[in-house]
Each structure stands twice: as C-alpha cells, then as structure tokens.
Amino acid sequence: MSEARDLLEAEHESFRQTVRSFIAKEVSPYHDQWEADGIVDRSVWTRAGELGLLCFDVDEEYGGAGVKDFRYNLVMAEELTRAGVNGPGFLVHTDIIVPYISSLGTDEQKRRWLPGLVSGETISAIAMTEPGAGSDLQGIRTTAVDKGDHYVLNGSKTFISNGILADLVVVVAKTDTDAGHKGISLLVVERGMKGFERGRNLDKMGLKAQDTAELFFDDVVVPKENLLGEEGSGFVSLMVNLPQERLSIAMIAAAACESLLDMSLAYAKEREAFGRPIGKFQHNRFLVAEMATEAHIARVFVDDCVRKHNEGKLDAKLAAMAKWWTTELQNKLVDRAVQLHGGYGYMMEFPVARAYVDSRIQTIYGGTTEIQKEIIGRSLGI
C-alpha cells in the first residue's frame, strides 16, 4: 500500500488519513480488551458514524454522504486490515447489509432505518446461514407464514456476524416452502420483537473481537412493512448483491497479503541467525520475493475489480475469481510468514500469529472456495 496507485485519487488518500487516525485513537488502544471480551464497545460504532465512516454511499436525504464510489470502501478495508483490527464489523455493515436496504427498501423503510445505520446508532446483521444449511440457500428451513398484515417467523440461524450487537437483522426465510428459490424472501427483524432471541456469542478460532452469534425466531410477528423487496424475490436479491460482498472479502485478502509481506520483510531484515539477517539466506530471500510478487498480483487484480465495480461491470464470475484466489493466497502467505518467524510466529503477541487465526475464515464465509469455483465453472459452460 506504500506504492502510488492509479486507482486512487487525492480525496481517497485524504480519507485514508481520516480512517487511519480514527483507528489509532478509537480502535487500536482497545482492541486487545475487545478480543478478550469477544465483542467491541458500541461507542466505537457511533464514533465512526460521527466521522462519516459508515455507509457513505447512502443518499444524503437519508443521512449519508451519497458517495457512490467503492474506492472509499477499499480504503476502509485496507486500513482496518493493515492495523490488524478486525473487531468492528464495519465492512459487514457498510459493504454487505446496508446495500440491501438502500437498493430494495421503500422510501418509508429507508427513512425509518438508514439514518440510524449511517450514524452507527443502529447496527445491522444479515442472517442466512443455518445449522443445517450454509452455501445451499435453498436448503434453509426458517419459515415466514403469511397472516394477512404480518408474517410469523420461525427458525434459527448461526455464524451471524454482528449478531449480538445487531439492532436490525435481514433474515432470509421461506415464505413459500413449495416454490424452491422463488419462495425465499427477506424480512427485517428488529431488536425487541417478541420471540427474537440471541444465543451464544460463538467462540471462534479467530476474529475474536467480532461478535458472531446464534439467532432464534419463535413465532416472531414481523409486520408486512418489514418485507424487504417483493415476496419471493429474496434469492435473486441475494445473488445480485453477492458480487459486492465477495469483492469486499477479496479487498481484505489483498490488504492482508501486503501486510504479511511487510511483516515478513521487516523480520527477515531484523532477525539474525548464524551471524547475519535471515533474509540474507537464499531460501528466505526467495520466499519473500515470491510473497512480494504474489501480493502485487493480488493488488492489481483487486484494484481492477474495484474499478470494474465502480463502472457497473463486475459480474458474478469475476467476483468469484477474486474471492477464491485472493483468500487462498492469503492463507498460503500467512502460513509462510509464520514459518519464517519461527517460534515467534506461534506467539499470539506477534501480529503474524493473530493474522494466522484471523485469516482462516476468509476461504469459507461469503461462499466457500469450492462454491466460487462452481460458479466460475458453470459460467464457462461446464
């Protein structure tokens, strides 16, 4: 990220300084405690909202800045990753969930929900995955039965990012159990609705400070006014929004690869063995050279995807390519970085060790590597 990039302009670098300052003051000093607690303090959300760091693409009439430029999202992803602070679920909120409301919501829904989402007073989550259904959305069992002016929602979800803190949850449910993917709808469940309960804050291998929960819905009355988009259109809406979600994950991966390169290069120069820096040994020098090359390829690829996304040209195939390739590369490089660091790489006080456990989920959420390859293969006609 130290190199000048054709993709970014002066305003993006100015925004970077704002984000970097915010992280240094409001996030990094508290992140170790949040990791121990398994959750961040809500105040970091409202502070981010005050500084305009959330949902900047939301139209001004609903409280946002109206900036439709995914390069700002890229900068946010890079800075959070560079600092190694994965607790605040800002990217899930801004890049993945709020766009559903912006694109599918009625004017009334937007006025009701978007200002709080922009300010950070309302935290969002999306509930797709279930104990028995992950990548296969048609296999979900959560149901919403039409009762005239409301739905009655029953089911459970798991692995829900922002699940404990969320005030507003976009729930994927079946409104017609006999219609296959055409029977899937999106319902917005709000904190305090009777029958909506949270289970455990799940004990994950990594991303310890980001709350990830089980959610339960027991005869939850959801008014028709909380149906997002048309009934039965949920599956299509999810497919339309998934490329942006996968690009967001790829942006994190590319930034992580660069961060791992920086860690490894610094360690190779500083750590000595047999009377000289370990980077002077050909094997290690070649290892870092390979990391530098691959991290650069990832950066060029992801920047091109962001450019295409801004132009409305990022399709499902390219997003799938970016998601699987960069995240698999991230896991490859973090493994090599830990090996280079030796015993220190296994100690959690070293950033590379945290990066190791935090990286592993990248090839799983947002659609596994295998699912991404299936999407690409089908797009190639095989």
- Does residue 89 contact residue 161 with C-beta atoms inside 8 Å? yes
- Statement: residue 1 has pLDDT above 50: no
Whichever domain contains 321, its CATH number is: 1.20.140.10
For the stretch 129-170, pLDDT in tens is 999 887 777 789 999 999 999 999 999 999 999 999 999 999
d(C-alpha 382, C-alpha 377), whole Å: 6
Does any domain span residue 317?
yes
pLDDT at 3 over 70: no
Residue 3 domain-assigned (yes or no): no
Q: Which helix (H) or strand (E) holds 200?
A: strand 196-201
Q: What pLDDT is attached to residue 139?
A: 86
Residue-wise pLDDT tens digits, 216-237: 999 999 999 999 999 999 999 9
Q: Which domain holds residue 80?
A: 10-122
What does the DSSP 8-state code read for residue 12?
Answer: H
User: Does residue 198 share a domain with residue 165?
Assistant: yes
307-342 pLDDT tens trace: 999 999 999 999 999 999 999 999 999 999 999 999
Question: What is the number of other CB atoms lying within 10 angstroms of the CB of residue 375?
Answer: 21
Query: First vs last Cα of the chain: how many Å apart?
Result: 38
- Asked whether residue 209 falls in the same domain as residue 271, the answer is no
What pLDDT score does 136 carry? 75
Q: Per the domain annotation, does 159 fall within a domain? A: yes
Spatial CA neighbour of 210 closest among 165, 240, 244, 266: 165
Which of helix, strand or coil describes residue 152?
strand
The reply to whether 48 falls in a domain is: yes
Q: Which of 188, 206, 232 is the last residue of a domain?
A: 232
- 228 & 245 share domain: no
Cα–chain-centroid distance for residue 218?
Answer: 28
- Indicate if 31 and 74 belong to the same structural domain: yes
Using CA atoms of 199, 244, 330, 380 in order, give the dihedral in degrees to the nearest 10.
Answer: 120
- 245 and 221 both lie in a single domain: no
If asked whether residues 175 and 303 sit together in one domain, one would say no
Q: By percentage, how much of the chain surpasses pLDDT 70?
A: 99
CA pair distance 24, 26, nearest whole angstrom: 6
pLDDT of residue 135: 75
Do residues 146 and 222 both lie within one domain? Answer: yes
8-state DSSP, 268: H
- Does one domain contain both 56 and 111? yes
Structural domain contains residue 1 = no
The tokens for 360 are 């592993």
- Both structure tokens of 314: 């990022």
Residue type, 270: E
**DSSP state letter for 93:** I
Per-residue pLDDT tens digits for 236-289: 999 999 999 999 999 999 999 999 999 999 999 999 999 999 999 999 999 999
For residue 4, being part of any structural domain is answered with no
Domain's final residue, options 122, 155, 188:
122
Total number of domains constituting the chain: 3
Query: Is 294 an active-site residue?
Result: no
Catalytic residue among 78, 79, 214, 245, which?
245
Please indicate, yes or no, whether residues 255 and 228 belong to a single structural domain of this protein.
no
Domain boundary among the residues 175, 209, 232 is at: 232
What pLDDT does 133 receive? 83
Same domain, 289 and 219: no
3-class SS shares of the chain: helix, strand, coil, % to 5: 55, 15, 30
pTM > 0.75: yes
CATH number at residue 17: 1.10.540.10
**Residues 85-105: what's their mean pLDDT?**
97
Question: Does residue 355 share a domain with residue 253?
Answer: yes
Beta strand pairing status for 150-161 and 196-201? unpaired
Mean per-residue pLDDT, 70-87: 97
Q: Which residues contact 41 (CB under 8 A, 6 or more apart)?
A: 30, 34
Q: Same domain, yes or no, for 374 and 271?
A: yes
* 84 Cα distance to chain centroid: 14
Write out the two tokens for 251.
Answer: 């942006």
Asked if the structure places residue 341 within a domain, the reply is: yes
